[in-house]
Chains A and B, each alone.
Chain A
Amino acid sequence: MIKAILSRLLQAVLVALLVGLLTFAMAWLLPGDVAYRIAAGRYGYDLVDTAAAAKVAAELNLDQSALTGLGWWFFDLIRLDLGASLITGAPVIEAIGRHLGHTLKLSIAAILLSLLIGPPLGILAGLHPGGWLDRSLMLVSTALRALPQFVVGLGLIIIFGLTLKLLPTAGHDHGSHLILPALTLALSLAAVSNRVARDAMVAVSRAPYYAFGRTKGLSEWQVFSRHGLRNVAVPIVTYLGIQFVSLVEGVVVVETLFAWPGIGHALVHAIFGRDVPMIQGAALVMGLMFVALNALVDTLCHLIDPRRRAA
């Protein structure tokens, strides 16, 4: 267990290094004049002229080499200082702190919702492979997986927001605002997790120990709850760790689509404004979130599967 924690910590450090390096490189490689972009972010597009851009460049010392800039960023990171936004001038950490709460709320709601949709349906399908539920789930999952998230989100907006007028489509004032973005994320997560659960259930129900459970005299429900559930849960939870990649990616798209003021939303805005410290900060936090969630998955697997505790 201690070894697992240490390796996750090391992973977190590596993620910080890589994310810092990659986001920095990508931000500098973007086309367009940085000073103009930042000035536009600060004063609005209509008020930007060469003088304003020059002023920004001088103030932010944009003439320094890229490597020097990156070096300063890492140096500050060691002191846990993410720097200040080039546009607002406010410390990045404050902005991220504000956005992170929203993103966490959205992510947790999405994960919980996907767990309520995906695995139970998948397990039901897996208990009767080839049945109508299995086949229709296959169709729906494939379709959902094939569609990009913004299309799924738009579809939900059109159905629930514009046609049925049941749910708000943007904003974050009260709980109902959470439903559509969380559902968009949850559907794309569940589209895969139900297949994982289905395959796991099929494998488990064909395992000799499942048959032995029956011939020991246990009822179908007893076999499932004693010998099925735990064995199915292990691959599902393990796979959840892999799914967080698509969650992190989905957060960016979905937050932008639903104007959800989370970290993904902030990241997109920072990229438009060439706000490099903000880009780095947001990407770093998302990377670390990924590591933390995977650590959580490890812990869960540990609790579910006694073989890991024994090892």
Chain B
Amino acid sequence: MTPLLTVENATVESATGRIVAPVSLTLQAGRPFTILGETGSGKSLFAQAIMGLLPVGLTASGRVIIDGQVLDLADPASHRPLWGRQVGILPQEPWLALDPTMRVARQVADGHRFIRRLEAAAAMKAAADDLTALGVAGAGRKLPGELSGGMAQRVAFAAARAGGARIIIADEPTKGLDVARRDEVIALLMKEVEAGGAVLTITHDLALARQMGGDFAVMFDGSIVEQGEADMVLSAPSHDYTKQLIAADPENWNERKVPAGKRDDIVLVAEDLAKARGGRLLFSGQGLRLHKGEIVGVTGASGSGKSSLGDILLGLLKPDAGTVARALGVAPVRYQKIYQDPPSAFPGRITIGANVSDLVHLHRLDVGRIAPLMKRLKLAPELLHRLPTEVSGGELQRFALLRVLLLDPVFLFADEPTSRLDLITQQETIELLVELAREQDCAVLIVSHDTALIEKTCDRRIEIGEKGGAEASVA
């Protein structure tokens, strides 16, 4: 096996201290390497350090050896000659990484023409060949705005390695993608590995790490706590943190389904709902009955109308056809929603405490209920004095939960409530959500792209998409 890239004692430091402890690793030809870590673990900074792309204010030390060439990490400028030639960097958001005003074939041809120094025509030919090989032959004449997300990903991949780079560094390549798209990205990266290149993937996604295989490292608080073969580490983790992480994967959750008994306490009935967006029919003939205390999951590909369905049930969106009937005599304010991105669901310039007390005043709630509920949600009282940006994403989402639970909801629509959260935080949040909803006898509709999460959490599941109005039961 030939090492393509070796990192020795890489560290990252800010003015206030060390963020990444010395990290050493070796990328082998024909073998993927995956670093798994949560937000703030330093994994992205580590990747940026070895590429020479650290943001201003951070300094790196250590060295990288590529092809016999030794590079000092303290001197990021010395890395630039390697970009595109030996190291290709796969952008996080391929759509934004492509020049919006240039046809994509020319963007791929950049590498062939300016780095491999081909003639303009030969470079365009090479770019067309690259795109054909990736199954997007027709994309060349298009502008990035006309590409689908998957096509943009492939084009960006082709552009990143057109200069002849055999080492691909991908930082969170699957962020925000649904399962089908994620599998595409993994296939793309594995293709490079099979061709004898090396791929370093930085991710928080356990499933991605599992599928990539090869070498694997877990990063926690700036250092690598465990390293080895992916299969070995994932099946028999030795470090506590790794164990915790694996246990937090929805695949490994305990089922918390409650068998559906005979119920007649309906909170919401929808019949024959249909909705089209942008000239495309999302769903039609969709019906749904929700009972008190019931947890229902909604799954489906991205853009299939999962969120639209929930918004229709809440009356935030008008259906094109069909009706939504709510239980009689229940205040509209008891139908509530939990948003995907907690920071954008809170006013940014007032403290969380002020926000909560506004709510209490507005609805004349009992102030005394806040403290015990916060305790249940594992929220420390001092957090109330902070701004939404000064608490973690998990804490803020639990505050969002606090806000809606104070209103005694009978129906809660949780739209991808944990997709911006890390694995362990996700598990905590979902557990609390389900537990408290059951206690308050509140019906919950959870939207998630993660089928395992829905399977383990919900009493039943609705699949939205091509099948139309199918209301499938998990059991």
* Residues of A that sit less than 8 Å from B by CB: 207-209, 211-219, 222, 226-227, 230-231, 234, 304-307, 310
Asked whether A217 lies within 8 Å of B115 as measured between CB atoms, the reply is yes
Interface string of B78-117 (1 = CB under 8 A from A): 0010011100110111001111111100000011001100
Asked whether B163 lies within 8 Å of A231 as measured between CB atoms, the reply is no
**B184: interface (CB < 8 Å):** no
B144: nearest chain-A partner, CB-CB: A209
Asked whether A310 lies within 8 Å of B146 as measured between CB atoms, the reply is yes
Interface residues of A, dominant DSSP: helix
Asked whether A218 lies within 8 Å of B84 as measured between CB atoms, the reply is yes
How far, in angstroms, from A207 to B96 measured CA to CA in the complex?
8
**B51: interface (CB < 8 Å):** yes
How far, in angstroms, from A307 to B146 measured CA to CA in the complex?
9
Asked whether B99 lies within 8 Å of A215 as measured between CB atoms, the reply is no
A220: nearest chain-B partner, CB-CB: B80
How far, in angstroms, from A222 to B53 measured CA to CA in the complex?
19
Asked whether A216 lies within 8 Å of B146 as measured between CB atoms, the reply is no
Asked whether A212 lies within 8 Å of B114 as measured between CB atoms, the reply is no
**A214 CB contacts on chain B under 8 angstroms:** 80, 83
Chain B: interface residue total (CB-CB under 8 A): 32
Which of A209, A218, A219, A305 has the largest count of B CB atoms less than 10 A from its CB? A209
**B143: interface (CB < 8 Å):** yes
A-B contact pairs, 10 of them (CB 8 A): A211-B53, A211-B91, A212-B91, A212-B97, A212-B156, A214-B83, A216-B115, A304-B101, A307-B101, A310-B145
**B159: interface (CB < 8 Å):** yes
Once A215-B89, A216-B84, A217-B85 are accepted as A-B contacts, the answer to whether A231 and B111 lie under 8 Å apart by CB is no
Asked whether B143 lies within 8 Å of A306 as measured between CB atoms, the reply is yes
How far, in angstroms, from A276 to B162 measured CA to CA in the complex?
68
How far, in angstroms, from A307 to B163 measured CA to CA in the complex?
27
Once A208-B97, A215-B51, A215-B89 are accepted as A-B contacts, the answer to whether A310 and B143 lie under 8 Å apart by CB is yes
How far, in angstroms, from A217 to B110 measured CA to CA in the complex?
9
How far, in angstroms, from A99 to B93 measured CA to CA in the complex?
56
> What 13 new A-B contacts, CB under 8 Å, besides A208-B92, A211-B97, A305-B101?
A211-B53, A212-B97, A213-B110, A215-B89, A215-B160, A216-B111, A217-B111, A217-B114, A218-B110, A227-B99, A230-B99, A231-B101, A234-B101
How far, in angstroms, from A230 to B159 measured CA to CA in the complex?
19
Once A208-B93, A222-B114, A307-B145 are accepted as A-B contacts, the answer to whether A216 and B162 lie under 8 Å apart by CB is yes
**A212 CB contacts on chain B under 8 angstroms:** 89, 91, 97-98, 156, 159-160
**A226 CB contacts on chain B under 8 angstroms:** 99, 102, 110
Q: Would you give the shortest CB distance from A284 to chain B, in whole angstroms?
A: 37
* Residues of B that sit less than 8 Å from A by CB: 51, 53, 80, 83-85, 88-89, 91-93, 96-103, 110-111, 114-115, 143, 145-146, 156, 159-160, 162-163, 165
How far, in angstroms, from A226 to B91 measured CA to CA in the complex?
18
How far, in angstroms, from A248 to B83 measured CA to CA in the complex?
49
Once A215-B83, A218-B114, A310-B143 are accepted as A-B contacts, the answer to whether A230 and B96 lie under 8 Å apart by CB is no
How far, in angstroms, from A227 to B107 measured CA to CA in the complex?
9
B85: nearest chain-A partner, CB-CB: A217
How far, in angstroms, from A163 to B88 measured CA to CA in the complex?
60
How far, in angstroms, from A228 to B110 measured CA to CA in the complex?
14
B163: nearest chain-A partner, CB-CB: A217
Q: Would you give the shortest CB distance from B198 to chain A, in whole angstroms?
A: 17
**A304 CB contacts on chain B under 8 angstroms:** 101
**A207 CB contacts on chain B under 8 angstroms:** 96
Q: Would you give the shortest CB distance from A297 to chain B, in whole angstroms?
A: 17
List the 3 closest A-B pairs by CB distance, nearest first.
Answer: A217-B84, A212-B97, A215-B89
B106: nearest chain-A partner, CB-CB: A226
Once A215-B160, A216-B84 are accepted as A-B contacts, the answer to whether A208 and B96 lie under 8 Å apart by CB is yes
Asked whether B53 lies within 8 Å of A215 as measured between CB atoms, the reply is yes
Asked whether B96 lies within 8 Å of A209 as measured between CB atoms, the reply is yes
Q: Would you give the shortest CB distance from B329 to chain A, in whole angstroms?
A: 52
**B146 CB contacts on chain A under 8 angstroms:** 310
B115: nearest chain-A partner, CB-CB: A217
**B101 CB contacts on chain A under 8 angstroms:** 230-231, 234, 304-307
**B96 CB contacts on chain A under 8 angstroms:** 207-209
How far, in angstroms, from A207 to B91 measured CA to CA in the complex?
12
How far, in angstroms, from A222 to B89 measured CA to CA in the complex?
18
